[in-house]
Amino acid sequence: MYKIGLTGGIASGKSTVLRWLQKKGVPYIDADVVAREVVEPGTPGLQELIQAFGPNTVLEDGTLHRAYIGSFVFSDSKALETINSILQPHIRHRIQELTEEWEAKGKQAVIYDIPLMFETDWHTQMDEIWLVYVNPVTQLERLMKRNAYSEQEALDRIRSQMSLDEKRDLSTVIIDNSGTMKELEKQLRKLWKTAKIHFQKEEL
């Protein structure tokens, strides 16, 4: 099965690109969705987080306290490493299950939407990598506007990730989202003309 890795950075527009591809009906696996699944109440992933970060990790209803985790993760590289070391094995296992499900359905290609594509070595398992790129100034402005962050809060989150320029050098296809939606769609239509050969006719 042909594996296309889709990645980007915070506020780069990766979700927008995925939604465009979803309209084409392509099989995809969203690692963000998987990451939420593996910390649902009662899961081993959530229990391991509680052991590492204490009872404040969950809310009264037993769900993950995302604000609590996020309050220190983006300014504490060790905390981020700890969380990744806990959750990545669970995420990998679930993504492998989903891959096998698509294979069982006879699909010829799958889009893997994985934010930490390079940081967690997923890129080594892909046939090609599509990077949704945005220049640093635009990335900062969009993140501050989208999440109502201060400049420092936005910078902390951007700097907690591998830079888009580093990812750019490692990617097969660059989708530049620094401009308008119209400009983005023009790139995606051009990319799709060559990419759709990997997918079955009923998915086009």
Res. 198: pLDDT tops 90: no
**Half-sphere exposure (CA, 13 Å, Cβ side) for 29?**
28
Q: What is the pLDDT, as a whole number, of residue 192?
A: 93
Both tokens of 183, joined, read: 């400009």
Which DSSP string corresponds to 47-115? Answer: HHHHHHH-GGGB-TTSSB-HHHHHHHHTT-HHHHHHHHHHHHHHHHHHHHHHHHHHHHTT-SEEEEE-T
Asked if residues 195 and 4 have their Cβ atoms less than 8 Å apart, the reply is yes
- Of 17-21, 48-52, 72-76, 120-124, least confident by mean pLDDT is 72-76
The pTM is what?
Answer: 0.86
**φ, ψ dihedrals at 116, nearest 5°:** -95, 45
Identify the CATH homologous superfamily for domain 1-27+108-204. P-loop containing nucleotide triphosphate hydrolases (3.40.50.300)
Tell me the CA distances in angstroms from 100 to 35, 121, 158, one per residue in order: 18, 20, 33
Q: Residue 137 contacts by C-beta under 8 Å, 6 or more apart in sequence?
A: none
Q: Are strands 2-7 and 28-30 parallel, antiparallel or unpaired?
A: unpaired
State mean pLDDT over 50-62: 94
What ranges do the domains of the chain cover? 1-27+108-204, 32-106
pLDDT digits (tens, 9 = 90+) for 115-158: 889 988 999 999 999 999 999 999 999 999 999 999 998 998 89
Burial 73-107 (b: 16+ CB within 10 A, else e): bbeeeebbebbeebbbebbbebbeebbeebeeeeb
